[in-house]
Structure 1
């Protein structure tokens, strides 16, 4: 039997579609496109929507850092700690990345979403659709009982997506965002009953991914 990369890392065989939206595991050829998108800009330089200000890096450093993050994420997968990072395509065009990060999922059944879009693809409702899709996926196909998120108070677009999808406010945190800069982060929580659903999902590669994260026993290599 000939091995494929998806046999070794089943995230690469995972594909979630919802109408014109597609989320799938990030292969190296997709990673190049994501690095170019990130270099092209994710937000205005005066703003910072992320807990870790990774987009402040110079373009070449930003591209290498983006690639290194995804390579490291593949290597660090374990049942106790994993981050599902999916490339997002809309009408076949690569537009950004959608993630779901968790620890001890078999016990907690919860995790936090995170995402970004290239600036040229923002303002079209894609951010809402991709978060809607990943939340539906983890609720319906992985058995999550809640999903959390967070956004700084000066990031109204992200907060608007959360309200639209049914998240409830869940406290605030005072964080250092950039060095020496205080920012208040609104925490949010979503339950399956509150999720405002979108287009039905079609999922490929689910059984292997469930085994990878321990939901159906340990994942055996072929």
Structure 2
């Protein structure tokens, strides 16, 4: 098996970890991915609900698990200045409980991230969703020097809307999104850097420990624009 130092050197994003107390966000390797896929297959939401724009969480346990595998394998290489999709496993007490993602477009110019996440049903209702969002925001603002962070949720997704409000986002309007053949109101939230600075101490108190960042310098370098002509002759 390749030494992990080789992977870190070639793909710095693989070394990213964000932790506070018993909660950790970590790069998803294949071992973690299998556990997370199995977790998703055991259920994320009530059968009659649909918190996602694309209904990947419908189907049998194996179908849902395969959707998780296919999606994660498909986006793993999407770490670049032009656009990135950084999906991190959420571990509570060392146990995989869900996924927290950050995405961005035109990162060097906009420095704006959008968060998305899911938790296995067995781990919901325990405050983990709030704390993992706080870790994601710390990664975005402290680790990556983001200007703003966006989030959103369907109007009927009470838990996700509550997390955004609890964490301290400002409302940023609403719009209709097609979901399973119907137009559904989708609430949008924004957290500016200034707003995050004002609630940062509250987040630390809620997390119960200082946030620790690992592997961030490598990720920041991976997201830096490549100077013109630097890649010439590589293809």
TM-score, normalised on structure 2? 0.87
Alignment match of 1:200 (pick from 205, 210, 231): 210
- Count of aligned positions: 217
* Distance in 1 separating the partners of 2:148 and 2:192: 5
Larger radius of gyration: 2
* Distance in 2 separating the partners of 1:6 and 1:156: 39
* Distance in 1 separating the partners of 2:226 and 2:129: 31
| Cα offset, 1:17, TM superposition | 0.7
Per the alignment, residue 185 of structure 2 pairs with 184
Alignment match of 1:147 (pick from 130, 149, 153): 149
The alignment yields a C-alpha RMSD, in angstroms, of 1.9
Tell me if the contact between 1:9 and 1:74 (Cα under 8 Å) persists in the aligned partners.
Answer: no
* Distance in 1 separating the partners of 2:70 and 2:8: 19
Tell me if the contact between 1:34 and 1:96 (Cα under 8 Å) persists in the aligned partners.
Answer: yes
Q: Name stretches of at least 5 consecutive residues in structure 1 with no aligned partner.
A: none
| Cα offset, 1:216, TM superposition | 9.6
What secondary structure sits across from 2:117 in the alignment?
Answer: strand
* Distance in 1 separating the partners of 2:225 and 2:160: 31
* Distance in 2 separating the partners of 1:58 and 1:4: 37
* Distance in 1 separating the partners of 2:221 and 2:38: 32
Per the alignment, residue 134 of structure 2 pairs with 132
Per the alignment, residue 107 of structure 2 pairs with 105
Tell me if the contact between 1:79 and 1:214 (Cα under 8 Å) persists in the aligned partners.
Answer: yes
Per the alignment, residue 9 of structure 1 pairs with 11
TM-score, normalised on structure 1? 0.92
Q: Name stretches of at least 5 consecutive residues in structure 2 with no aligned partner.
A: 231-235
* Distance in 2 separating the partners of 1:76 and 1:170: 27
What secondary structure sits across from 1:4 in the alignment?
Answer: helix
Tell me if the contact between 1:14 and 1:204 (Cα under 8 Å) persists in the aligned partners.
Answer: yes
* Distance in 2 separating the partners of 1:99 and 1:26: 11
